[in-house]
Chains A and B, each alone.
Chain A
Amino acid sequence: MTQAIAPAPETRFPEPTDGQKPKGTPSAKRTRAVTRPLQYIALALYIVFLGFPLLFLLITAFKTPQELQSPDPQFLPQQFNFDNFVAAIDKANLIHAAGNSLFVAVLTTVIVTAISLPAAYALARFRTKLRGVATGWILLSQVFPFILIIIPLFLVLKQIGLVNNLFGLVLVYTVWSLPFALWMLQGYVAGVPVELEEAGSMDGASRFRVLRSIVLPLLAPGLVATSLFTFISSWNEFFFALVLIQDPNLQTLPLTLARFVGAEGQVQLGQLAAASLLATIPSLVFFALIQRRLTSGLMSGAVKG
C-alpha cells in the first residue's frame, strides 16, 4: 500500500498556515477534551442503532399475546415466560426444520472442507495459471445474480431428481460456498512458511508426512474458521432453498420462518420472535467462536492473495 501513502508527506506544507495552533500537547489535550465526549456520543448512537433491534427481538419473545396486543405497549415484559418458545417449537415444526438445516449445513461443511483443503494448498503453493483462473472465478461468481444460475440449476437438478431433495440443496450449497472457503483457506495456507515444509522433507519425512504433521496442525485454526463459516452460510441461506424445496417436510429453518411471517398476526409476534431467536443461536455461537479468526483470515486471504 505504499504507493497509496506516497503522496502523504506533501501534506506537510499546508500546515504552517493555521497559526493559531501552538505546537505540542496542550492543544492536543484541549481538542481531545472537546472531541472525546462527541466520540462517545457517536459511539452510543451506533450501539443503539446496532443493538436495539436485537434487544427488542429478545424482549418481544418473552411477551404474552395480551401484552403484544395492548393498545399502550410497555417496553419490558411483565414477567419472563417461555410460552412463546414452547408454542413456536410446537407450531412451526421448528425442531424438524432445524434438523433439516443441521443435516444440510453439516454435510455441506464436511464436503466443502474436504475438497477445498487440497485445492487451497495447490492455489497457495503452486504458482500456476490455475491461480489466476481460480481467483478470477471466485470474483466473477460474486457478480452474477443468482437468478441466472438457479434456473438452469433447477432444470438440471430436476432431471437428476434432486429437486425437493436435501442432497440437492447440499450440492448447491457446496458449489456456492466453495469459492469463499477456497479464498479464505488459501490465505491461511500462504501463512504457513514454506521453509517448514522444506525443513521437514530435508529431514527425510515423506511428502504425506510433511503435510500431515507440519502443515495440517498449523492450518487447524484456519480450517476450523473456514468450516464454521461454511456452516453458518448454509444454515442461513434462503434463496436456493426457496426455489429447490417445496415439500414442507424438507423445509430448512429460514424457509419455515419466512412462511411463519406470512401467517403472522399481532398475537403471533411473540412466537415469531421466539422462533427467530432460537434459529439464530447456532450461528451466533459458532460466530462467537470464530469471530477473531474470521476477520484476520479474511484479511490475510485478501492481502496475500
Chain B
Amino acid sequence: MTVAATATKPAPTPTPNRPRRTRNRGFGGGGRDAWLLVLPALIPVLLFSVYPLAQGILLGFTDAKAGLNQVVTFNGVDNYSKLLTNDLFWNSFRIGLIWAFGVTILQFFAALGLALLLNLNLKLRWLARTLALVPWAMPPVIIAIMWRLMLNPTYGPINGTLRALGLPGDTNWLGDFSTALPAVIVVGIWAGMPQTTITLLAGLQNVSADLHEAASIDGANALQRFWHITLPALRPVIVAITTLDLIWNFNSFALVYVLTAGGPGGQTMLPMLFAYNEAFRYGNFGYAAAMGNVMVIIIAAFLFFYLRSQARSRLS
C-alpha cells in the first residue's frame, strides 16, 4: 500500500543537513543480522496476521459455516452472486460509505479549523489542545456510552437545551430513522478529532514562516497566504490523514455497535456490523468473509482513485 508512503515520502528528501546514509551504517554485515533482529516480530505477524488474512480472503470463496466438523468446500463466486442480490448488504454498504465519507470530510474541516486556531497564540489554547486529545485516550465503548447520555431523549442535555430555547426537545436522536445516522456521524467526528487535529497541527508547524513573512510583506492577506502557502505545503499531510481516516472510519465497529447496534431498523448498520452479525450471529463464515473481500476491493478502489488524482495534481 503506498498510501502514506507517497504522502510522507517528500518529507525526508529536503533535509540536506542529515548525514548521508551509506547502506547498513549500523553494525556488522547487514542482511543476516537484520533478519535475526526482525524474526521475533516476524513470526507472530506471519502466523497470526498474514496467514489468517490470506485464509480470510480464501474463506470468502467457500461455504464455511460456524460449528464443529463442518465440511468446507470451495464454491467459487457463489457468495458474490448471492451478495449481488442481497439488498440489505448493499444498503449497509451505502450507509457505510455515507458514514465514512461524512465523518472523514466533516472531521477534516473541523480539525483543520481547530489546528489553525491552535497554531495561533491564543489564550486558553492549552485547554483546547488538551480536550482535543482526550478522545484518543478514551475507549470507543465509553465514548459511545457518553454520547448515549448526551443524546438521551429525556435526560440528555441536547434536548434539554432545545427545550430551554422553546424548540421541540423530544427527538429520540439515536432511535429515529431520520436522525440516527447524522447523530452517529457527529459522534464519529468527535471521536476522531485527535489524530486528525494533531497531524494537521504538526503539518502546520512545518510550514515555512519565512514564506509567510515574505508574502505578507508583499501584501498578501491572511486568506491569500492560507490558500497559496499553507494549503500547498500542507497537502501531503492532508492526503495522508484523510486517507487513513477514511480507512479507519470505514472499518470502525465499536462506536456504532454500542451507540445503536445498527438500529433503528438498520439505519446505522455499518458494513462491519453487518458482516459481524453474518459471521458470529448467523454463523455464515464464508459469506461474511466474502463481504469483507468486497469491502476491501471497494475501499481500495476509492483510495486508488483518490491518491492518483492527488499525485496527478501535484505533478501538474
Known: A146-B253, A151-B285, A175-B45. A14 touches B233 (CB 8 A): no
Within residues 1 to 48 of chain B, which ones have a CB less than 8 A from any CB in chain A? Answer: 1-5, 8, 10-14, 19, 21, 23-28, 30-31, 33-35, 37-38, 40-42, 44-45, 48
1/0 contact trace for B46-74 toward A, CB 8 Å? 00111111011101100010000000000
Count B interface residues, CB 8 Å: 132
Known: A47-B128, A139-B5, A147-B288. A272 touches B140 (CB 8 A): no
Bound state CA distance, A31 and B153, in angstroms? 43
Minimum CB–CB distance from A101 to chain B (whole Å) comes to 10
Question: Which residue in chain A gives the minimum CB-CB distance to B27?
Answer: A207
Known: A145-B251, A236-B140. A115 touches B117 (CB 8 A): no
Counting chain B CB atoms within 10 Å of each CB, the highest count among A10, A148, A176, A236 belongs to A148
Contacts of A283 in B (CB 8 A): 137-139
Counting chain A CB atoms within 10 Å of each CB, the highest count among B38, B114, B216 belongs to B38
B268 at the interface (CB under 8 A from A): no
1/0 contact trace for B280-304 toward A, CB 8 Å? 1000010011011101100110010
Contact indicator B53/A149 (Cβ below 8 Å): yes
Bound state CA distance, A105 and B199, in angstroms? 26
Contact indicator B190/A148 (Cβ below 8 Å): no
B141 at the interface (CB under 8 A from A): yes
Bound state CA distance, A237 and B138, in angstroms? 10
Within residues 129 to 159 of chain A, which ones have a CB less than 8 A from any CB in chain B? Answer: 130, 134-137, 139-153, 155-156
Contact indicator A75/B157 (Cβ below 8 Å): yes
B162 at the interface (CB under 8 A from A): no
Contact indicator A1/B206 (Cβ below 8 Å): yes
Partner of B198, one of A3, A125, A130, A298: A298
A204 at the interface (CB under 8 A from B): no
Contact indicator B34/A126 (Cβ below 8 Å): yes
Contact indicator B233/A46 (Cβ below 8 Å): no
Contact indicator B233/A5 (Cβ below 8 Å): yes
Minimum CB–CB distance from B80 to chain A (whole Å) comes to 15
Question: Which residue in chain B gives the minimum CB-CB distance to A136?
Answer: B1
Bound state CA distance, A35 and B221, in angstroms? 12
Contact indicator A126/B219 (Cβ below 8 Å): no
Question: Which residue in chain B gives the minimum CB-CB distance to A6?
Answer: B232
Minimum CB–CB distance from A241 to chain B (whole Å) comes to 10
1/0 contact trace for B131-146 toward A, CB 8 Å? 1111111111110111
Contact indicator A261/B117 (Cβ below 8 Å): no
1/0 contact trace for B109-148 toward A, CB 8 Å? 0100110010010111101100111111111111011111
Contact indicator A142/B248 (Cβ below 8 Å): yes
A82 at the interface (CB under 8 A from B): no
B77 at the interface (CB under 8 A from A): no
Contact indicator A238/B139 (Cβ below 8 Å): yes
Contacts of A302 in B (CB 8 A): 4, 8, 11, 240
Within residues 212 to 242 of chain B, which ones have a CB less than 8 A from any CB in chain A? Answer: 214-222, 224-225, 228-229, 232-233, 235-236, 240
Count A interface residues, CB 8 Å: 120
Bound state CA distance, A153 and B38, in angstroms? 23
Question: Which residue in chain B gives the minimum CB-CB distance to A279?
Answer: B142
A305 at the interface (CB under 8 A from B): yes
Contacts of A207 in B (CB 8 A): 27-28
Question: Which residue in chain A gives the minimum CB-CB distance to B125?
Answer: A43
Contacts of A116 in B (CB 8 A): 41
Bound state CA distance, A264 and B271, in angstroms? 26
A199 at the interface (CB under 8 A from B): no
Minimum CB–CB distance from A200 to chain B (whole Å) comes to 10
Bound state CA distance, A125 and B28, in angstroms? 11
Contact indicator A299/B202 (Cβ below 8 Å): yes
Bound state CA distance, A77 and B172, in angstroms? 24
Contact indicator B258/A53 (Cβ below 8 Å): no
Minimum CB–CB distance from A285 to chain B (whole Å) comes to 9
Known: A151-B59, A302-B11. A139 touches B3 (CB 8 A): yes
Contacts of B219 in A (CB 8 A): 15-16, 18, 21, 23
A245 at the interface (CB under 8 A from B): no
1/0 contact trace for A16-40 toward B, CB 8 Å? 1010010100001001000100011
1/0 contact trace for B189-201 toward A, CB 8 Å? 0100100001100
Contacts of A150 in B (CB 8 A): 279
Contact indicator B31/A287 (Cβ below 8 Å): no
Contact indicator B12/A303 (Cβ below 8 Å): yes
A263 at the interface (CB under 8 A from B): no
A304 at the interface (CB under 8 A from B): yes
Minimum CB–CB distance from B183 to chain A (whole Å) comes to 13
Known: A31-B221, A43-B128, A145-B251. A127 touches B24 (CB 8 A): yes
B180 at the interface (CB under 8 A from A): no
Instruction: Please name 10 further chain A to chain B contacts, defined as beta carbons within 8 Å, in addition to the given A39-B117, A127-B24, sorted by A numbering.
Output: A11-B229, A46-B131, A114-B40, A126-B34, A130-B34, A145-B251, A156-B55, A176-B49, A258-B257, A261-B258
Across chains A and B, which 8 residue pairs bring their CB atoms closest together, nearest first?
A125-B26, A287-B137, A11-B228, A236-B139, A122-B37, A148-B292, A148-B56, A238-B254
Q: Would you mind naming 9 contact pairs between A and B with Cβ atoms under 8 Å apart?
A: A14-B224, A39-B122, A121-B26, A122-B34, A142-B1, A145-B292, A149-B52, A152-B52, A254-B254
